[in-house]
Amino acid sequence: MFPRLSLVLGGARSGKSALAERLVALSGGEKIYLATGQGLDEEMAERIARHRAARGPGWRTIEEPRAVASVLGGLREGQTVLLDCASLWLSNHLLNGSDIAAEAAALEDALGACPARVVVVSGEAGMGIVPENALARRFRDEQGLLNQRLAARAGLVVTVIAGLPLVLKGTLPEGLA
């Protein structure tokens, strides 16, 4: 069994979402995919469609780019939600001009109060070069702070590199290590 809150980190195309999906599949009960991506252009819309098709049946999908805390507040025990991903959620709020500190605090509160199991996928954005513009630097900094806050609350924290999980906190369930 895994804890009520898990965090799966990784870079682009690292395998973090695939690991998170396998983790959710082990939980039993209703599987909910809380998607924060928006199909604002053709490429992103196609990417979302591919992800949905690859998940297969058995998932209920909720698409919510920003009001994730509200969705978490409506979940119940026996459900497991995969929040994919905190990075897009943060980006959506930055581009919307939201108060990031208030939104992050609301997300933390909702995660703490949510009776469902939650697996959060989040990108690791701080291992590359320093971005050239202020918005990108702010995103990188806010992403690092958000990941630290989520990791502090989570009972399981895993980073995925080249498809391989590396446990930073807690223990992976049998069959995922």
Residue 80's identity, in one-letter code, is T
Q: What is the largest CA-CA distance in the chain?
A: 45
Cis peptide leading into 85, omega within 30 of 0?
Answer: yes
How far apart, in whole angstroms, are the C-alpha atoms of residue 177 and residue 31? Answer: 21
CA distances from 10 to 7, 14, 88, 92, 157 (A): 10, 6, 13, 19, 11
Asked if 93 is an active-site residue, the reply is no
d(CA 2, CA 36): 24
What is the C-alpha to C-alpha distance for residues 135 and 158, in angstroms, rounded to an integer? 27
Give the active site residue among 15, 22, 48, 51.
51
Residues assigned a catalytic role: 51
